[in-house]
Every structure is written in C-alpha cells, then in structure tokens.
C-alpha cells in the first residue's frame, strides 16, 4: 500500500489518496457507527469524552451554554492525548450534528473536503440551531500526525431550547 498525502490550500484541509483496494478504505467517515461505546450527555459548557478507539480525548466547549434556537453557537473542540491530556496536534477530523437520525450539519461539507485538518489541535465551529430539541454531536478522527487511522468517534447528546 502506498499512501500519498496531498495538501490543499482551501481551508487547510488535507486529502488522502490511497492506492490500495478501496473496499478496505479506513479514511471514510461513518455517520451511524455501531462501534461507539457510550454517549456523553452535555450538561455543562465543557464536556469531555474519549473516542471509541481511545486514541484521542475530545474536550468539547460550547458557548453560549445552554444553547437556544436562533442564537449563534460556537463549538470549540480540543483534541487531547489520553496519557498526558496535552493538546494533540495535526488531527484529521470531522464534526457532524444530527437530529432524529437526520444529519443537519457536517463541517467538512462546508469546505468541500472529505475531512478537515487542524495543525494546532484546537478548532472552533460556529452553528445556529433553527429548532429546539434533542441533537447528537459527533466528532470523528481519521488521522493523527499525518498518519491515517481507522475512524474513531466520540458522541455527545445535546438539548436545545
């Protein structure tokens, strides 16, 4: 298998071209994975969860909190090394919001890239909810330090008033 990393300038995203059997591609985000071991109920402005493969801890901070519909919200995601809780740099990731099993937002779609990349390990993603209700937030990790990994996810549940 030969892995070629192709940097793109648009929104600091990175694309992966893998010259092996595509049926074994591990760089694909799975929106409804059954591997997620637990969901974290968001009850405060700062919540933390490990990805289901334990490669990275996700610190999710939400402003303002609690979230109300028709108010600009910001999600700050910090990727942490599990052993030291220091910031993990160079993470390939995606962030999605679903309501009633229907995706209402995916960060990578906004950039036209299959995944996103953070060099700093901390990202801020804005979103405005147009309806109240129960939402699921999914942070997917597809690579660490420019090395692709099998997609790992952390899932958070959020109530919007």
A 10 A CB-CB count for 9 gives: 6
CA atoms lying within 13 Å on the CB side of residue 92: 24
What is the DSSP track for 95-126?
EEEEETTEEEEEHHHHHTSSSEEESSSEEEEE
SS3 56: coil
Answer for the pair 160, 133: CB distance below 8 angstroms, yes or no: yes
Rounded CA gap, 151 and 146, in Å?
A: 14
* Model confidence, pTM: 0.76
Rounded CA gap, 56 and 38, in Å?
A: 15
pLDDT digits over 88-116, tens only? 999 999 999 999 989 999 999 999 999 99
pLDDT digits over 103-153, tens only? 999 999 999 999 999 999 999 999 999 999 999 999 999 999 999 999 999
What was the pLDDT predicted at 102?
Answer: 95
């Amino acid at each position: 298998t030969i892995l070629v990393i192709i940097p793109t300038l648009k929104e600091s995203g990175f694309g992966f071209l893998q010259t092996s059997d595509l049926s074994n591609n591990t760089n694909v985000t799975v929106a409804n994975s059954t591997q997620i071991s637990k969901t974290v109920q968001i009850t405060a402005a700062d919540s933390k969860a490990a990805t289901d493969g334990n490669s990275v801890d996700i610190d999710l901070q939400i402003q303002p909190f609690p979230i109300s519909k028709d108010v600009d919200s910001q999600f700050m995601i910090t990727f942490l090394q599990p052993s030291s809780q220091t910031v993990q740099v160079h993470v390939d990731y995606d962030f999605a919001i679903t309501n009633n099993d229907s995706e209402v937002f995916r960060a990578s779609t906004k950039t036209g890239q299959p995944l996103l990349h953070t060099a700093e390990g901390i990202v801020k993603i804005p979103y405005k909810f147009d309806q109240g209700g129960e939402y699921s937030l999914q942070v997917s990790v597809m690579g660490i330090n420019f090395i692709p990994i099998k997609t790992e996810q952390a899932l958070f549940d959020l109530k919007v008033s």
